[in-house]
Amino acid sequence: GAVVSQHPSWVICKSGTSVKIECRSLDFQATTMFWYRQFPKQSLMLMATSNEGSKATYEQGVEKDKFLINHASLTLSTLTVTSAHPEDSSFYICSASRLAGQETQYFGPGTRLLVL
Amino acid sequence: DQQVKQNSPSLSVQEGRISILNCDYTNSMFDYFLWYKKYPAEGPTFLISISSIKDKNEDGRFTVFLNKSAKHLSLHIVPSQPGDSAVYFCAADNQGGKLIFGQGTELSVKP
């Protein structure tokens, strides 16, 4: 199978702190990883696309200095929410695909972030 | 600008009957479509996909139909089972692996 893990599964932090979320492809090498955000009862919104060894491509309206993405290896991408505020509270989901293009994306279980 | 729309936020079906989930899109450049199933507080799970060169793709109880002229696709689940109860998202690939998701339809299959 194609398994993607995320860590942590949930996190509560104080306003102003930074939070790092890890996304790992466990049994395959992911050329591309994607980061999504989902608000309750809403769709998954793509935040950014990351390719191993290169800078992430951010979607319009997503602050790259706020949401730092690092794709250090073919099995690991990290999303750091810097100086988190309550409005950053959301469900963050990553996905990974083996190839660029129309390859099925395999999603992680998501990380619930609550900023107090 | 919602390029992928699922206009029914919820659907309730009796066990054993057919579930039909609908999805509309606006961008004719989309050439690959996927359906995902999602449980609360979990990531989406891939169900089935279809390329724009086809109009139907079947996998077990799941069939996806694509009507390019109407920019419409649907997911049929037959027979529906209580374990199918979840939120179903359709997604379109905008040529490059980026997925644009619909708002989701919550399916409830009652025994």
Of the residues A46, A105, A106, the best mutation for testing chain B's interface (the one with the most B CB atoms within 10 Å of its CB) is: A105
**Chain B residues close to A49, C-beta within 8 Å:** 97-98
The alpha carbon of residue A61 is apart from the nearest alpha carbon of chain B, in Å, by 13
What share of chain B in percent tops pLDDT 90? 81
For residue A75, what pLDDT band results from cuts at 50, 70 and 90? Answer: very high
Question: Quick one: pLDDT at residue A102?
Answer: 56
CA-based diameter of chain B, in Å?
A: 41
What share of chain A in percent tops pLDDT 90? 69
Question: Quick one: pLDDT at residue B67?
Answer: 97
Model confidence over A88-100: pLDDT tens digits?
A: 999 999 999 886 5
Nearest C-alpha neighbor of B48 from the set B68, B38, B33, B26: B33
Burial B55-89, CB ≥16 within 10 A → b, else e: eebeeeebbbbbeeeebebbbbbeebeeebbbbbb
Question: Quick one: pLDDT at residue A99?
Answer: 67
**Chain A residues close to B101, C-beta within 8 Å:** 43-45
Nearest C-alpha neighbor of A64 from the set A47, A77, A86, A52: A47
Rounded-to-integer distance, Cα B24 and Cα B19, Å: 17
Asked if B45 and A107 come within 8 Å (Cβ–Cβ), the reply is yes
Inter-chain CB pairs, A–B, below 8 Å: 60
φ and ψ of B81, to 5 deg: -125, 155
Rounded-to-integer distance, Cα A34 and Cα A52, Å: 11
For residue B26, what pLDDT band results from cuts at 50, 70 and 90? Answer: very high
Asked if B42 and A106 come within 8 Å (Cβ–Cβ), the reply is no
Mean pLDDT across B79-89: 96
Contact status, residue A81 vs residue A113, Cβ threshold 8 Å = yes
Mean pLDDT across A71-83: 93
Q: How do beta strands A10-13 and A111-115 pair?
A: parallel
Mean pLDDT across A62-77: 92
Question: Quick one: pLDDT at residue A30?
Answer: 87
For residue A105, what pLDDT band results from cuts at 50, 70 and 90? Answer: confident
For residue B12, what pLDDT band results from cuts at 50, 70 and 90? Answer: very high
Burial A34-45, CB ≥16 within 10 A → b, else e: bbbbbeeeebbb
Mean pLDDT across A65-79: 92
Question: Quick one: pLDDT at residue A100?
Answer: 57
What share of chain B in percent tops pLDDT 70? 97
Rounded-to-integer distance, Cα A45 and Cα A56, Å: 16
Model confidence over A27-51: pLDDT tens digits?
A: 888 888 999 999 887 889 999 999 8
Mean pLDDT across A59-84: 93
The alpha carbon of residue B68 is apart from the nearest alpha carbon of chain A, in Å, by 18
